[in-house]
Structure 1
Amino acid sequence: MPVSEKKLRSNPAWIKRHLTDPFVKRSVQEGYRARSVYKLMEIDDKDKIIKPGMSVVDLGAAPGSWTQIVKERLTDKEGRLDGKVIAMDILPMDPIEGVHFLQGDFREQEVADQLTELLEGEKVDVVLSDMAPN
């Protein structure tokens, strides 16, 4: 059965496109974990969905670039986090200071219970997700 080479990250053409992508270069220079960070920035700059004091859950968060932006946008000028950020993914994710990370499938009761515990009776203001199948 033929296999499409377009989706294989070991494909030399994909690697070359990825390494020359201006958003990949910019994300590396600015210290973000993925190029998708600019998608959320554009959405939030336009629609102002992330506001101080909010509780935000990022589903499918790994590698964590969207979580980085949420934390930045909830951090005041004195460097204090004004809100709650919870990142969730079935994959591991390097820690981000001030962010709660739950590794597991959010559809499973055990993980949902952990989320409820972290929320401490508070409501979730925004749920973000940039999930895609591997």
Structure 2
Amino acid sequence: MGRSSKDKRDIYYRLAKEEGWRARSAFKLLQLDEEFNLFKGVSRAVDLCAAPGSWSQVLSRKLRGKESSEDVKIVAVDLQAMAPLPGVTQIQGDITKISTAQEIIRHFEGQSADLVVCDGAPDVTGLHDVDEYIQAQLLLAIFRGKDVTLLYSQLKIFFTSVTCAKPRSSRNSSIEAFVVCQNYSPPEGYVPNMSNPLLDHSYDVDFNQLEGPNRIIVPFLACGDLSAFDSDRTYPLQLDSNKEYQYLPPTQPPIRPPYQQACHLRKNNLLATEDSPSVLLDDSLSAMKLDTNKENDRTSRNS
């Protein structure tokens, strides 16, 4: 299978490279903004589970514009390291820790965030982890399952508008969706407390049997222009008859991803060996660096 095969199978992966985005997920946030106007009036934004940084890229370009703005503050948080982005402060930490929330608040000089976005796994994006630094809007990536009503119900307590949206760049074959929460309005006297999570998975097993006002059903909205590319369709490499297709490498390769060592061990048939893990890791890093340098050299010669 050639290296251009993914360009045919995933049009948004290809477009991300052509437009300089770090990942195809950038189009999800762009399409959600087209529908909900998320960035209007935003000067303080938080990107949780940010790596590899495509959503932080979108925030940087949309909020800062072509010129740097001192009034705009963007914080990106992730357990993994991430390549730097202009105008984005990076915090390598756990979003479920109070120390991480305090560090974000310090960066905003005690002010609340105007927008919090999170494209992370649902099991680490409970409301109790992020309401410490929410002011106006919240955007969460979720998987629509039988228990998602619990999340909707709790979000409705804190936001006057809760909508479940699916951008065109999100595959129809995936149960992935995004909850867009607007107009943050917590109950009177509510004090955020991360030591007492709201999401409790020991709730009544018959919860989803409730009907009427006891069950919250939020609107579901498909985002993106109808003329946009279909994320589940395979497209030819030659999209424009006036422009010849040229393969492009990813905009930003991962920085020491957790799977890096495993890939090197598998490639060299070392998974079953008893060599020292530290030695294998050093070998893995050296090999990855060498491969990256070779790829950069090839790109320079072709450009």
Which TM-score bucket, shorter chain as reference?
Answer: 0.7 to 0.9
Q: 85, 88, 104: which is aligned to 2:93? A: 104
Find the residue that maps to 2:47 and give its secondary structure. Answer: strand
Specify the alignment match of 2:109 in structure 1.
120
Cα deviation, 1:9-57, whole Å, max 9, x if unaligned, reads: xxx7xx8864431111110111100001001000001111113552110
Between stretches 31-40 and 15-24, larger displacement belongs to: 15-24
Specify the alignment match of 1:95 in structure 2.
84
Distance 1:80 1:125 in 2: 19
Given that 2:105 and 2:112 are in contact with CA atoms closer than 8 Å, whether structure 1 keeps it comes out as no
Structure 1 unaligned segments of length 5 or more: list them: 1-11
Find the residue that maps to 1:85 and give its secondary structure. Answer: strand
Q: Name the TM-score, length of structure 1 as normaliser.
A: 0.80
2:57 corresponds to 1:80? no
Distance 2:20 2:41 in 1: 22
Given that 2:74 and 2:87 are in contact with CA atoms closer than 8 Å, whether structure 1 keeps it comes out as yes
Given that 2:78 and 2:92 are in contact with CA atoms closer than 8 Å, whether structure 1 keeps it comes out as yes
2:22 corresponds to 1:68? no
Find the residue that maps to 1:125 and give its secondary structure. Answer: strand
Given that 2:42 and 2:115 are in contact with CA atoms closer than 8 Å, whether structure 1 keeps it comes out as no
- Equivalent residues, number: 120
Q: Cα offset for 1:90?
A: 0.8
Distance 2:4 2:17 in 1: 16
Name which one, 1 or 2, has greater alpha-carbon Rg. Answer: 2
Specify the alignment match of 2:187 in structure 1.
none
Question: Relative to structure 1, is the Cα distance of residues 23 and 116 closer, same or farther in structure 2, using a 3 angstrom cutoff?
Answer: same
Find the residue that maps to 1:33 and give its secondary structure. Answer: coil
Cα deviation, 1:91-114, whole Å, max 9, x if unaligned, reads: 111110110110110111221221
Given that 1:57 and 1:86 are in contact with CA atoms closer than 8 Å, whether structure 2 keeps it comes out as yes
Specify the alignment match of 1:4 in structure 2.
none
Distance 1:17 1:58 in 2: 31
Letter in 2 for 1:40: L
Quote the sequence identity (%): 35
Specify the alignment match of 1:26 in structure 2.
15
Given that 1:61 and 1:67 are in contact with CA atoms closer than 8 Å, whether structure 2 keeps it comes out as yes
Given that 2:48 and 2:119 are in contact with CA atoms closer than 8 Å, whether structure 1 keeps it comes out as yes
Q: Name the TM-score, length of structure 2 as normaliser.
A: 0.37
Specify the alignment match of 1:131 in structure 2.
120
2:31 corresponds to 1:39? no
Letter in 2 for 1:24: Y
2:33 corresponds to 1:48? no
Letter in 2 for 1:127: V
Given that 2:78 and 2:95 are in contact with CA atoms closer than 8 Å, whether structure 1 keeps it comes out as yes
Distance 1:29 1:44 in 2: 21
Specify the alignment match of 2:185 in structure 1.
none
Given that 1:52 and 1:83 are in contact with CA atoms closer than 8 Å, whether structure 2 keeps it comes out as no
Given that 1:59 and 1:131 are in contact with CA atoms closer than 8 Å, whether structure 2 keeps it comes out as yes
